[in-house]
Amino acid sequence: MDLPLNSRDALDRFLAGVERPAFKMANFASRNTDEALDLVQEAMFEFVRRYWDRPQEKWKALFYRVLQSRITDWHRRTLVRRRILAWVGRRDEAEEREDPLERLADSASPTPYDQVARQEEMRALEKAIRALPLRQQQAFLLRAWEGMDVGQTAFVMGCSEGSIKTHYSRAIHALRGLLEDSHS
Amino acid sequence: MNANAQEKHLLEKIKDLLDQGMEDLNSLNGQRLENLRINALRAIEEKHLSFFTPWRWILVGGFSMAMIATAVFFLWVSPSPAVLPVSRVDDFEIITSRDHIDFYQNLDFYHWLVTTGNDPVKGKAS
């Protein structure tokens, strides 16, 4: 079973379209650039290995399902690691360490003065999204950013539609509060 | 502005900011993401190029073992013939003996020779 050329091109286009939102989602969850890149890499490899021959209209939901599953696994592992480190009395150095890439200036886009306010808003939003519990964060980003409906989001997150509605509603409520606090 | 309109406005603003954040992604991270994508596609192509992957070997080996086991099982449980084609010890000797196999093959001819009176041992009858 060969990988046809048109499938390769379609896969390339698809992955190019989702790689950045996927990275941002992973980065929101992990708060670390390297961890986020690892998560995206694992999701990409698993997706192309298992689902490349599925219909293209299902790729998006399948890719995000793999990614969210990886993020959830990572989150569980991190919680266990933190508990063990807390038990032995050590701090998680990986968590404490600041990501140097966050401080790197972006040479691709200039930063004029009129964008400062927008960057402040962006920082406040990212901080608010990161403050959300993982499931709320996932439900919110998939629904509000990726534009998935409740059914698709439930498939991606592997839970019921009722849970998605609850997570999403709580996320909106929490974000509104957090953003209002940051502006006040 | 009612609650729904406020929520819609908030969501639009958030989506706009997130889209902007994605566009402004650090160029280094953008390059790393592109490399990840290329590596993922390359890995799947290499996987498809190699026909006899370890997993495929396991599948083929397992299938062969299953077929052999099935054949052995059916041979084991199938009933053996009630009457052996060879019942006497003398017949066994004939079957197992490799000597004078031509003699046994030509036995019918010697029978015919005796009945027609051309016995080579006693000489010609006439």
Task: State the complex-level ipTM.
Answer: 0.72
State whether CATH 2.40.50.70 applies to domain A116-184. Answer: no
Spatial separation of the C-alpha atoms in residues A156 and A154, rounded to whole Å? 5
Indicate whether B7 pLDDT > 90: no
Contact B33 A179 (CB under 8 A): no
The answer to whether A143 and A150 have CB atoms below 8 angstroms apart is yes
For position B126, what pLDDT does the model report?
Answer: 45
**Residues B2-6: what's their mean pLDDT?**
77
Q: Choose, out of B37, B49, B52, the residue to mutate when testing the contact with A (most A CBs < 10 Å).
A: B37
Residue whose C-alpha is closest to residue A47's, from A36, A68, A63 = A63
Q: How confident is the model at residue A49 (pLDDT cuts 50, 70, 90)?
A: confident
Q: Domain segments of chain B: what residues?
A: 3-77, 81-126
Q: Are A25 and A67 in contact (CB under 8 A)?
A: yes
Q: Which residue has the higher pLDDT, A28 or B48?
A: A28
Q: Where are the domains of chain A?
A: 1-96, 116-184
Tell me A115's DSSP state: G
**The two structure tokens encoding residue A34:** 């390297």
Q: What is the pLDDT of residues A144-156, one digit of tens each?
A: 999 999 999 999 9
Question: Residues A11-22: what's their mean pLDDT?
Answer: 92
Tell me which of 1.10.260, 1.10.1740, 1.10.3470, 1.10.1200 is the CATH number of domain A1-96.
1.10.1740
Using pLDDT thresholds of 50, 70 and 90, give the confidence band for residue A64. Answer: very high
Going by the DSSP 8-state scheme, the letter that residue A139 receives in this structure is: H
Query: Mind telling me how many Å the CA of A163 is from chain B's nearest CA?
Result: 20
CA–CA separation, B3 and A85 (whole Å): 45
